[in-house]
Amino acid sequence: MSKVLWSPWRHDYIKSFSEGMVRECLFCRLAQLSDDYAYILYRGNKAYVVLNAYPYNSGHLMIAPYRHVASIDELDDEELIEVAKLVRLCINVLKKALKPDGLNIGVNIGRAAGAGVEGHVHVHVVPRWIGDSNFMPITSGYKPLPIALTETYGLLKEEFKGKSFNSISKLKAS
């Protein structure tokens, strides 16, 4: 028998995507905004890294290609390689800046798989710490995040500073 882990703090976000509603793509829109306003941490040639404004955990990053495609198999080779390199960069930055005990990395393709923005593929990189899941979200409907979004952005932006696309290929996982 499988157990259910409720995450009620996500309900308002999910409700905002009603069936048949035509909305501007979040990731296409974010790419047009200023970095500080949109929490964009890094802009590559084919993709960018953004701090999730509705995070599961502090430091929850997303990597999105600039091109609007629904699935990772629709990316061309250059886009796919850059997204993979940005995953590696995010791992290195998060390990250095936030020192997580582990990481969740994933891609949700399609609504049934949990894609909140199903028309624009993106990769989640979520830092995890031992004990970061507790009774609070279940009993109170609140998920405590130990650091403010703006503070997390500042901390991570500093780590991304000076990184170039060429330097990504030279990074090694620590």
Check if 120 is active-site: no
- Report the distance separating Cα 129 and Cα 117, nearest Å: 26
Going by the DSSP 8-state scheme, the letter that residue 74 receives in this structure is G
**Nearest CA-CA partner of 121 in 67, 51, 72:** 72
Going by the DSSP 8-state scheme, the letter that residue 9 receives in this structure is G
Among candidate residues 11, 60, 120, 122, the one labeled active-site is 122
- Report the distance separating Cα 167 and Cα 159, nearest Å: 13
- Report the distance separating Cα 93 and Cα 153, nearest Å: 12
DSSP letter for each residue of 92-108 = HHHHHHT--SEEEEEE-
Q: Which residues carry out catalysis?
A: 122
